[in-house]
């Protein structure tokens, strides 16, 4: 992403300013009455496509990845519901069963992998780091697993300043309650991957759950990516996904 900054004055850019092609990355707007400046930041993909914006209140809006290879989306930009997902994660973690499971999982996986330090024991703090301008934030992808199944992905890592989450593309269009619940669970799953400075892999997380479950269920093969993902995600799901229409 571009990192240079260009300053523009508010006379030339009104509130309804239309995206240009100059790859503007930082715009400071001066309030003529108070003399204070507000900043708008814009991120671009290497193709020059606008990828994200940050407004003065630090609300970040991410765009769909453009069609840049097989299986990529070419749909109109449709921002990831960052605020809604965070609220849903807070709701899930307000359930002590979910909070205790996640806390034990992060303690176990970080102890088992001492060279890969824990970014933060609070998944919401990790989520906020991913959302911050020092990482890559959120997008959608239609990339599929070898099985053909759609999936969400943790991209990059916090340690390299490249952490992002690409959600399964269908979440961009399926916005019903059940889809949003599943998307929030995916958000929590991918955030837990990013809780390791270099990301904790599905295998490392499966091994941690295996240890937490006193080795009762047998682990999938080490190279079975989908099996290892399902192994620990099943436990996360059982602890954190609130029952449909139910109270807890
Ligand atoms: Zn995973």
- Tens-binned pLDDT, residue by residue, of the chain (248 aa): 333 333 333 333 333 333 333 434 444 444 444 444 444 344 444 444 444 444 444 444 444 343 333 333 434 457 899 999 999 999 999 999 999 999 999 999 999 999 999 999 999 999 999 999 999 999 998 888 788 888 899 999 999 999 999 999 999 988 899 999 999 999 999 999 999 999 999 999 999 999 999 878 899 999 898 899 999 999 999 999 866 554 44
Same domain, 198 and 89: yes
Same domain, 31 and 87: no
Residue located via tokens 């697993």: 145
Of 19, 48, 74, the residue at which a domain comes to its end is: 74
Of 44, 74, 104, the residue at which a domain comes to its end is: 74
* Paired residues of 148 in beta bridges: none
Distance CA 183, CA 79 (A): 14
Q: Among 74, 98, 78, which residue's Cα sits nearest to residue 88?
A: 98
Ligand 1 centroid, distance to 220 Cα (angstroms): 14
Same domain, 152 and 61: no
Same domain, 115 and 211: yes
Number of domains composing the chain: 2
Same domain, 10 and 100: no
Ligand 1 centroid, distance to 192 Cα (angstroms): 8
Same domain, 108 and 18: no
Q: Which domain does 91 fall in, by range?
A: 82-246
Of 74, 107, 123, the residue at which a domain comes to its end is: 74
Distance CA 42, CA 26 (A): 6
Ligand 1 centroid, distance to 233 Cα (angstroms): 7
Same domain, 162 and 187: yes
Q: How long, in residues, is the chain?
A: 248
Same domain, 91 and 27: no
- Under 8 Å between Cβ of 67 and 59: no
Q: Which of helix, strand or coil describes residue 30?
A: strand
Q: Among 48, 39, 38, 42, which residue's Cα sits nearest to residue 61?
A: 42
Ligand 1 centroid, distance to 215 Cα (angstroms): 20
């Amino acid at each position: 992403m571009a990192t240079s900054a260009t300053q523009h004055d508010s006379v030339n850019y009104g509130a309804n300013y239309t995206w240009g092609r100059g790859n503007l990355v930082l715009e400071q707007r001066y309030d003529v009455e108070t003399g204070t400046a507000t900043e708008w930041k814009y991120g671009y993909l290497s193709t020059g496509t606008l990828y994200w914006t940050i407004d003065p209140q630090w609300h970040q809006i991410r765009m769909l990845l453009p069609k840049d290879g097989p299986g990529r989306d070419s749909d109109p930009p449709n921002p990831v519901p960052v605020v809604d997902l965070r609220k849903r994660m807070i709701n899930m973690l307000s359930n002590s069963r979910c909070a205790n499971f996640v806390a034990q999982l992060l303690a176990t996986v970080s102890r088992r992998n001492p060279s890969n330090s824990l970014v933060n024991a609070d998944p919401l703090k990790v989520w906020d780091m991913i959302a911050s301008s020092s990482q890559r934030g959120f997008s959608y992808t239609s990339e599929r697993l070898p099985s053909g199944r759609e999936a969400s992905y943790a991209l990059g890592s916090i340690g390299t300043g490249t952490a992002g989450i690409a959600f399964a593309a269908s979440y961009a269009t399926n916005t019903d309650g059940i889809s949003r619940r599943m998307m929030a669970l995916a958000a929590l799953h991918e955030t837990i991957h990013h809780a390791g400075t270099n990301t904790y892999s599905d295998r490392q997380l499966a091994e941690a759950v295996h240890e937490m479950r006193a080795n009762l269920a047998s682990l999938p093969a080490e190279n079975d990516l989908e099996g290892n993902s399902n192994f620990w995600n099943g436990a996360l799901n059982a602890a954190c996904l609130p029952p449909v229409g139910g109270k807890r």
